Every structure is written in structure tokens, then in C-alpha cells.
Structure 1
Amino acid sequence: MKLRFKRLVALSMVSLLTVLTVACGSSTGTTGKSEGSSESAGRSDDSKEIIFWNIGTENPDKEIMTYGVDTFNETTESGYTVVSVPTQNDTYKEKLVIAMSSGECPDMYTSWSGGPMNEYVDSGFAQPIDDLFNASSLPDTLMDAAVAQASYKDHIYAIPMLNVSLSGIFYNTEIFEKYNLEVPTTISELEAVCDTLVENGITPFALANGSKWTGSMYFMSLAARMGGLEPFADAVAGTGSFEDECFIYAGQKIQEWVEKGYFPEGVNSLSEDDGQAKQLMYQESAAMLCCGSWYTGTFSTDSAEFYEKIDWFSFPSVDGSDADSSIQIGTVGDQFISFNCEGDKLAAAFECVSTYSSEEAVQLMVDNGKIPPVKTVGDYLTDPITKKILQAANDASSTQLWYDQYLPPAVAQVHLDTCQEIFGLTMTPEAAAAKLQEAMQSDLAE
């Protein structure tokens, strides 16, 4: 545990610099309290307030997060009150690491499962909830795959909620029709579509890669379509390497696409959190957007009229590769809520989070373009795009969790940094692969 805690502290040094640059003077959310105070961090087990950190700063996520909190506060007999403290996505990730590295942590908080969640568990900031979980209706309600992603070392440490999120490509059907473009099934077909768009003054892909994880969507998808999932699993286990040809291919293809003008100018300076990628779609200066399927909720909430122009397809296969093209990149649950409290407070917090699996909450999520990770979600869906995404999830032979969530935090940061360098043409794919492999070997040595 001490070693893991030291790694969180080391990572927080980088995080602190980012937060000081990006988030000085930022809002403390709905509590109106200083984020550094013991009340805001939720460290007092005697307090009747349950502090809940999350990323619900904008609709539809804000409405969904608020629903669960308000429902609990209005109906509970526990004597506890949940206080929601939302923070913008990228700032939130840094804020959470820094809080834990300083020995503070809210009573409950959202994360993305994988390596970071495991670090939080090993550092003592997430409690096992097996007994509460098994005594509830959730085992019969939640998808097994979602519960598996919420588990670590044979214990359940989080409740999955909000969305089944896959990486795929949203596209403007009117632009495709105007230029007689067909939905591509291979990379060569995708490149033919992109070439036509460039020739007609349209940017093929809307991408704001200042956040780094957005560009990682392309890297992960290309690597998986080239080599399947074994190269990644082997590299993480230490039996393989991130210098495998599939990772080199992904980097080379990205740089080829950058040079051909498939991405916006200054792509690494554009902000996803500020909505600069989706604005390119709304302006119809870009035709496609490769990102998580939560964009169904984003598009439909922002403009129902625009959403009528949108469709979705799974990332195309690599020509000549025998990799399984049914493999998907993403998560079954998207947001996982973990708990840093005990006793009656933990029971009350669990009660609050359980509201997100109620019929009313599931309907609210579906109405906002989400695919909540419940077994009966197919009965709620009417939107053709969300149905298509759920079908892709059901048909997938395997779903690879996002690299930046699966990898240990320090290694994940190197992945994000080198991926951004690839997009910026400031590092060769070979050098990026070597640097990532070095980080992975260092982590394994610890």
C-alpha cells in the first residue's frame, strides 16, 4: 500500500502543475465550501453530510447526477444528506489524485474503473461493498460485465452507472449524401471518404486533442483493429511490448492522417471540455467525430434538429488484418461510484447510488441518449443510434477498457503524452512506443 501511495504522490506532482494552471479560482461546485476543507473532502465520519464528487457539470450528466442525489435526499430515512460537488472532466481527474495524495478523499466519488480505481483501492480510499451489494437487488439488475469492471481482487469496489460507452464514429448523414459517400467498413474505404471530404474543403474528423484522451481514441482503435487485444494485454503483463507492430502502425497511420489534413488545424490546442470538437460538427465544417458513445446524449440534448442528421458506425477494420473486428473499445458503466466511508454513512451512500438503477433513473438516462448498464436496458431504447451501439456492445467478442483507465496512472499519463506528441508530429511512432514501453517496464519493476 505504501508503494502505491507513493506512486499517487508522484503522479500528483504533475497533476498539481496542471490544476494550478487550468483550475485556479475554479468553482467549488454546489457546496460553496473550500475544496481543501475537511468538510469538502468528506473525511469526517461523524458528519451527516455525504460529499459526492462527480463530473456532472453539464447536461445531460448534470441532470442525471442531480436526480439521484435529490431522490435520496427527499426520501431517505437514514438521517444523511448527500452534497454533490461537480467538477469539469479533465480538472476532476487531477483534483481526485491530488486529494488522495494529500490523504483526503470525499465520501463517494465517480471514476472510470481500471488502473486508477485499483490504485485508489490499494491506497485505502475505496471500501469493498460486497455485503451491501449482494443484499440488494443490484446483482439481478446490473450487467455482469459492468460489475466485473467494478471489481478488483475478487471484491466489488464500485457501482457502475450512467452509460455503456463505446468508441465509434459519429457522422453527418447529409454531408455523406451530398458527396455520395458510403459508410466505410475498412481503413482504405475510410481514407477514401476522408480524401473526398478534404477535396471539398471539409475536415474529415472533428477532434479537440488538448485533452489528450480524445486522440487516444484513434490510437486505441487502430491498434486493436490491427493486432486485436493480445498485444496490449501482453505489454501490460510484461510478456510483450508496446513496441509491437500494431502500436507502431497506429502511430504511423495517425501521422499520415495529420499530414493529409484529416484533422483540424492546431488539433492539440483545441479543448474538448470547451466543446470545440462538437462545434466543428454543428458548423458542419467537419463530417465525422470519433469519440465515446456518450455523444448521443450530447448531440440530442444540444440540438434535436442536428441529431436527426447524425448516425454512427463502428471503427472500420484494417485491410488484410485477421484481428477480430467485433472488438470494441470502451466501458460497460462509464462512471463507477466508489465509497470512502464506513458504517451507517457507507450504507446511506450505497442507498443513494442505488437510486441510479431504478426504473425512473434508467428511463431518464435513456431519454438523454444514455445506455445505462442494466440488463433490461434494451426494453427502454427507441433511439436507433443507441440501439445500434447496444447491438455492437452485445456482439463484441471483448471490450477493451480505455488505455488511460486500464493502465496504472503513471503509465497512462505517458500514453496520453506520447499520443499527443504523435498528433503534433513532434515524436515518431517508434520513439513514442519506446517511451511507453520504458514506463511500463518501470511500473512492473516496482
Structure 2
Amino acid sequence: MKFKKAWVLSASALAALVLLSACGSGNGNNGGGSADTGSAPADEPKVELSIWHNFSGDDLRAQTMRGLIEQYVAAHPEVKVDVQAIPPDGYKQRLKTVAAANEMPDLFLSNPGSMIAEFYNGDLLQPIGDLLEQYPEWRDGFLPGAFEGHTFDGEIYAAPVNLSPSSIMYYNHSLFEQYDVKVPTTWDELMTAIETFNANGITPISMGNKAAWVAQSTIIGTLADRVTGSEWFLSAVEQDGAAFTDPQFVEALGYFKQLADAEAFQDGANSIDNTQAEQYFIQGNAAMTLGGTWTLTNLAATASEEALEQVGVTVFPAIPGGAGDPNTITASTGQGFAMNKDVTGAQREAALDLIYTISGPEAQQQIAQSNTLVNYQVEVDPAKVTPLFNKTYELVTSVGFTPIYDAYLSSAGTEAVNNGLQELMLGGDPETVAQKIQNAQAEAVGN
């Protein structure tokens, strides 16, 4: 896999990249929650279509995406649609399992970068360029770079349905004011905040790392980039002039261990999930949490207006002497729906129609109004989204983007990072963890 791309964008470029104006084909019968929908007269031939996604929760974005699929089903009684809604924590593994058995669904939600690349490299996908050509106004409505993580050899394989920053620092204004703590912009200020909140019985940073991806996606990518810079990371991914045993990455892991050793996270952080951690934060039990666009839509669905008004957003603090730009957040171009290479004929036409229904201009508008950042030119009435969404929009249009680790690392490398961070939270050694990550990534790229 080759992902040699410079991801650090200027603030002006990011303002263009972000989003809004602020005014055999698989049979899909592999377990999980399934909805067999669509109806037609018994003597009328049906096109059968399977689609997998991970919008299984109650957040506004998940509700919107499921609603868009239902909209397609209602408009196309000639198509029998088998929908599998799989919880996010087990979604990737389910896809890998059916891919190994050559039982992929006809359409499935994929992350940009390394996830979709694995299916592409396995010759399991087909491009959707003809759909984009069919709707040129839709194609041209995406923002610069939107297709970057879904493009291989000049062909586009998915259209993003969101924009995915993953390391926004959410903080509770009231708690910072109550305990006279400065919102941290430097490492020393962060450590002071952690000490003060702990002394007053407040969890400094809420994190739910049961599924292991959370610490990687929300913290280590941005923390490590502060230390190493993005070019080093991209070289280490390719094993080209850099390695995860290099001193700067061991140093970055050491900073993460400092957080754990200082009791920055609540007890049992590796035993609760991300949703539980978000609720712990919004209920006023923690001063900070780190998350992404999913945090916006989750809190919009569950938190009171009063609670949301107490939440501010900022970037992770700067690291002394670091090579990376501190005015950045980790982000990807967003998830999109990919198509099984074996889908042909009338089934393919139905699949393309479904992709357009859930990714087209009207869909992008609905997704944005579910308090989700999108990679598409839309206008959203500020009154239809939460104040927190508007604050976050202002933040992401003023910073640069750096790579999310699991969008570039191999699956083995990502797993080694995820497991290694849990190990560090339990007292592990940064050099030992770094060696495990290096071994996994080197083997994956053939070094």
C-alpha cells in the first residue's frame, strides 16, 4: 500500500476542505442485525441487494443514515434490500471475515486509506466513476481532496458521507472556571490541569478505550504528530527512512504514558466504551474528553441544551520542542460506501442508485443537519444544529489536518498501536511497545 501524501494543510486550505457555509456478490446473511426490506408482487422479478454499515446507534447521524436507506427502500419496491447494521467496534473484523470467505456484501461502508486499500489490493472492489459522471453537479460539489482516501490508480471507489476529525478536545467551561484552571495550550498546562482536577475529585480526561481504537484515534495520533511531525509518520508507515523504534516516537509514547501515570483517565478506562465515556463527560464527571465528529452527533442526541452550552472545543496542547505543528487535529476525508466487484447488471444499477440516495446532495444536507461535518458544499441553518456544532465548525476551519494513524497503518500495525496503548495504560514500557509496533508494520510492508 502506498499512502505517501502530505496531510498537513494550511488554515486557508482547510477552510476550503472542511464543509459548510454557516448560514459472487455477497448474500449478506452472515449474522448481525438484519432488515429484509422491499416488497413487490410475487410474480415480479426482484433485484436483490445487500448493504452493510455501522450506523447501529441512536445518535442523530446514525438515525439519518438509516433513514436515507429506508428512503431508498420505500422508493424502490422492485429491489429487495438486505440491510446489516453492525456495531462499530466489531465492524471491521466482520468485513475481514466475510472477505476471506468471498462473501462480501454488495455495498459496505468503508474508511478511507488503509481500510479500503486492503479491499482494493485484494481485488474485491469496483470503481464508481460512472455514477460521478452521471451526476456532475454532485461530483463537483465535493470539497478539494474529498476523494483522496478512496482513490486508487486514478479511479474513485467511494464518495464520502462525512468529514472525520478525530482529536478535538472537548472541555467543560464550568469546571475549568470553578477550579480556576487554564484551558491548556502547553504540555505543562495540561499536566497542571490534570493535577488540579484530580485533587478535587474530578476526572481530568474521560476516555472509553474498551475497543482499543479510541486512544489511538483521539490521542496518540495528534500527540505523536506534535512530537514527530507528519512526514516522519508517513515515512515510518512505508518503512522508508523511519521506524517506530526511532527516539522521537518512543518519546511520544512516553508522553502518553505520562498521562496514564498521572491518572489523567478515569479508573477502568479500558473497560468502558466510547459512548459511556462521552456520557461520563457530559454529566460533569470529567473536565475533558477527546473525540471527533461522532462526538458532536452523539451529544446532540443525548445531552441537554444546558449541558451542551458548557462545552468548549480546542486542540490538543503543544509539546515542547516537537517537530509537528501544534495548531492541527487528526482527520480523514470521511467514510464512503464501496461496491463489491461482482455486482453487475440490474443489481449494479440498483447499487449505484442506492449510493446516490445516501451520498447525494440532499443526503449531504441531511447528514450535516444531524450535527455531522461533511466533505461537501452545503449550507446549514445555525438554528438547526447545536451551538457545539457551530463552535466545532469554527475550530476546524482555523486549523490544519494531520494523519489519523489507522487510516495509514496496516491492520497489523494499527492493532499493535491499539494494544500497545492499552499496555502503556497498565504500566507498560514505551520502548517495548514501540518495538512491537515496528515489528508489525515492517512485516506488513514486507521489510
Q: TM-score range with shorter-chain normalisation?
A: 0.7 to 0.9
% identical equivalent positions: 26
Counterparts of residues 93-108 of structure 1 (less than 5 Å): 93-108=92-107
SS in 1 for 2:162: strand
Shift of 1:392: 4.1
Q: 1:75-121, CA deviations, whole angstroms, 9 ceiling, x for partnerless residues?
A: 348x3243321010111111111010111100101121211211111
Contact 1:69/1:83 (<8 A) preserved: no
Paired residue for 2:35? 30
Distance 1:76 1:287 in 2: 48
Selected match of 1:415 from 407, 414, 417: 417
TM-score by length of structure 1 reads 0.84
Paired residue for 1:329? 330
Q: Does 2:71 align with 1:71?
A: yes
Paired residue for 2:173? 173
Shift of 1:327: 3.0
Contact 1:151/1:157 (<8 A) preserved: yes
Root-mean-square deviation (Å): 2.4
Shift of 1:398: 3.8
Contact 2:308/2:388 (<8 A) preserved: no
Shift of 1:250: 2.2
Shift of 1:206: 0.7
Q: 1:378-401, CA deviations, whole angstroms, 9 ceiling, x for partnerless residues?
A: 67686443344334444444431x
Amino acid at match of 1:252: G
Assess, with a 3 A threshold, how the Cα gap between structure 1 residues 75 and 157 changes in structure 2: closer, same or farther. same
Distance 2:368 2:172 in 1: 22
SS in 1 for 2:146: helix
Selected match of 2:388 from 385, 400, 412: 385
Paired residue for 1:15? none
Distance 2:31 2:149 in 1: 32
Shift of 1:212: 0.7
Shift of 1:245: 3.0
Q: Does 2:195 align with 1:195?
A: yes
Shift of 1:359: 5.0
Distance 2:410 2:123 in 1: 16
Shift of 1:370: 0.6
SS in 2 for 1:159: coil
Amino acid at match of 1:317: A
Contact 2:369/2:380 (<8 A) preserved: no
Distance 2:194 2:36 in 1: 47
Aligned positions, number: 404
Assess, with a 3 A threshold, how the Cα gap between structure 1 residues 226 and 61 changes in structure 2: closer, same or farther. same
Contact 1:141/1:357 (<8 A) preserved: no
Paired residue for 1:5? none
Q: Give the number of the structure whose residues are more often helix, by fraction.
A: 1
Distance 1:359 1:233 in 2: 33
Shift of 1:288: 0.9
Amino acid at match of 2:236: A
Shift of 1:377: 4.8
Q: 1:260-286, CA deviations, whole angstroms, 9 ceiling, x for partnerless residues?
A: 1111112222223xx321232143221
Contact 2:315/2:328 (<8 A) preserved: no
Assess, with a 3 A threshold, how the Cα gap between structure 1 residues 349 and 165 changes in structure 2: closer, same or farther. farther
Assess, with a 3 A threshold, how the Cα gap between structure 1 residues 397 and 262 changes in structure 2: closer, same or farther. closer
Distance 2:202 2:109 in 1: 37
Amino acid at match of 1:266: G
Paired residue for 2:150? 150
Contact 1:228/1:327 (<8 A) preserved: no
Q: 1:62-85, CA deviations, whole angstroms, 9 ceiling, x for partnerless residues?
A: 3112222122223348x3243321
Assess, with a 3 A threshold, how the Cα gap between structure 1 residues 230 and 268 changes in structure 2: closer, same or farther. same
Assess, with a 3 A threshold, how the Cα gap between structure 1 residues 66 and 328 changes in structure 2: closer, same or farther. same
Contact 2:150/2:157 (<8 A) preserved: yes
Q: 1:190-231, CA deviations, whole angstroms, 9 ceiling, x for partnerless residues?
A: 222221111111110111111111111221111111121011
Shift of 1:429: 0.8
Q: Does 2:276 align with 1:268?
A: no
Counterparts of residues 313-328 of structure 1 (less than 5 Å): 313-328=314-329
Assess, with a 3 A threshold, how the Cα gap between structure 1 residues 96 and 357 changes in structure 2: closer, same or farther. closer
Contact 2:206/2:277 (<8 A) preserved: yes
The structure, 1 or 2, with the larger RCO (C-alpha pairs under 8 Å, 6+ apart) is 2
Paired residue for 1:223? 224
Assess, with a 3 A threshold, how the Cα gap between structure 1 residues 180 and 360 changes in structure 2: closer, same or farther. farther
Distance 2:380 2:227 in 1: 31
Amino acid at match of 1:386: F
Contact 2:61/2:372 (<8 A) preserved: no
